[in-house]
Amino acid sequence: MPEQNPSLTIAISSRALFDLDESNRVYEEEGLEAYRRYQIAHEDKVLERGEAFFFVQKFLNINRLLDKRRVEVILLSRNSADTGLRIFNSIAAHGLDITRAAFCGGESPYRYIHAFGGSLFLSTQADDVAHALEHGVAAATLLGGSGEGRGSANDDLRLAFDGDSVLFSDEAERVYQSEGLAAFAETEARQAAEALEGGPFKGFLRSLHDLQREFPESDCPIRTALVTARGAPAHERVIRTLRAWDVRLDESLFLGGMEKTEFLRAFGADVFFDDQSQHVQRASPHVPAGHVPHGVANAG
């Protein structure tokens, strides 16, 4: 495959990529040295898939479809290189094209995201995710159990995003939280022509959109959806904002407060990002879901 700088790089923790629950139980119950011995003793036993496995697999498949290296996945791990050998062995066994990693020996790995050029960080460690967001990187805490068998039935990569506090800033959500639904609807209708400020995932969505443009529109393996609690008349400002950004979403679901889970299942999301933990918790038994701890809903 021709060498080329990737246009989009994501960073992922080892526990998001693989099911490390048993290893983590050893660490919590018996301590670090027991964990080290356990991982070394099992380093040739292939780890099962984690919550983000199928997302990563489909993401890396983009390189094969384009016959050039346009995307990259970086492993960021709290393991040491010694205990992380099992992870790299499992990466090889599952046929994932992941060659770069930072093993941080118990320290948070988020500080290496910028050095690797990462646009997105997925982890099961909420503190690491919060630090990444504070440093301007789109990030989410993945919830749920084992990812075994949780890939969508579609061959294409499907990503679903909430709007306010994820793709957009929390300016509208602040009005809703402080003044209620009627004030929110009135404000959004009055400001329909004014583009919303970008949220933490604006840059990632832009990079994803640019990547989609490398494929024919009728044959693109990446599909995106906005899944928002907004309804009319608050829909217009969202549409005009995306126009102003010159970003296209393949599907936009304005649910007017309806529960999101069944819509995410119908879309076949490989991952769903939302700032409200209750939405993520409801969706996570059915689709991989990431909590984005950003905005007024997560204040305090």
Does a cis peptide bond (omega within 30 degrees of 0) precede residue 233? yes
Checking if the pLDDT of 153 tops 80, the result is: no
pLDDT, tens only, 9-52: 999 999 999 998 888 888 888 888 888 888 899 999 999 999 99
Sheet strands side by side (includes 71-77):
100-103, 71-77, 8-13, 120-123, 138-143, 289-291, 271-274, 157-161, 222-228, 251-254
| Residue 275 dihedral angles phi and psi, to the nearest 5° | -85, -15
Which of 143, 172, 202 is at the close of a domain? 143
How far apart (Å, rounded) are the C-alpha atoms in residues 284 and 261?
A: 9
| Number of domains the chain is built from | 2
Is residue 235 a part of any domain in this protein? yes
Helix (H, G, I), strand (E, B) or coil at 134: helix
> 86, 112, 143: which is the final residue of a domain?
143
Same domain, 163 and 91: no
What is the DSSP annotation of 164-189? BTTTB-SHHHHHHHHH-HHHHHHHHH
- Structural domain includes residue 151: no
CATH of the domain at 13: 3.40.50.1000
Q: Say what the pLDDT of residue 152 is.
A: 60
C-alpha dihedral (214, 67, 52, 248), degrees to nearest 10: 10
- Whole-number average pLDDT of the chain: 91
Question: CA-CA distance, 259 to 264, in Å (whole number)?
Answer: 10
- The pTM of this model reads 0.92
Q: What are the tens digits of pLDDT across the range 223-234?
A: 999 999 999 889
Q: Is residue 238 part of a domain?
A: yes
CA 26 from chain centre, in angstroms, equals 28
pLDDT at 134 exceeding the cut of 50: yes
- DSSP per residue, 261-272: HHHHHHHT-SEE
In a 10 Å sphere around its CB, with 0-12 CB exposed, 13-18 middle and 19+ buried, how is residue 243 labelled?
A: exposed
* pLDDT given for residue 145 in this prediction: 47
**Predicted pLDDT of residue 144:** 66
Q: Residue 19 in contact with residue 82, Cβ under 8 Å?
A: no
The last residue of a domain, from among 121, 143, 165 = 143
Query: In this structure, are 104 and 177 located in the same domain?
Result: no
pLDDT, one tens digit per residue, over 49-97 is 999 999 999 999 999 999 999 999 999 988 888 888 999 999 999 999 9
162 is catalytic: yes
pLDDT tens per residue, range 165-220: 999 999 999 998 889 888 998 999 999 999 999 999 999 999 999 999 999 988 99
Gap between the Cα atoms of 238 and 17, Å rounded: 33
Band (pLDDT 50/70/90 cuts) for residue 150 is low
Considering the candidates 19, 21, 44, 162, report the single residue annotated as catalytic: 162
Residue 117 within any structural domain of the chain: yes
Whether residue 170 sits in one domain with residue 57: no
Q: In terms of domains, do 281 and 246 share one?
A: yes
Domain of 249? 157-298
Number of other CB atoms surrounding residue 293 within 10 Å: 20
Residue 149: is its pLDDT beyond 60? no
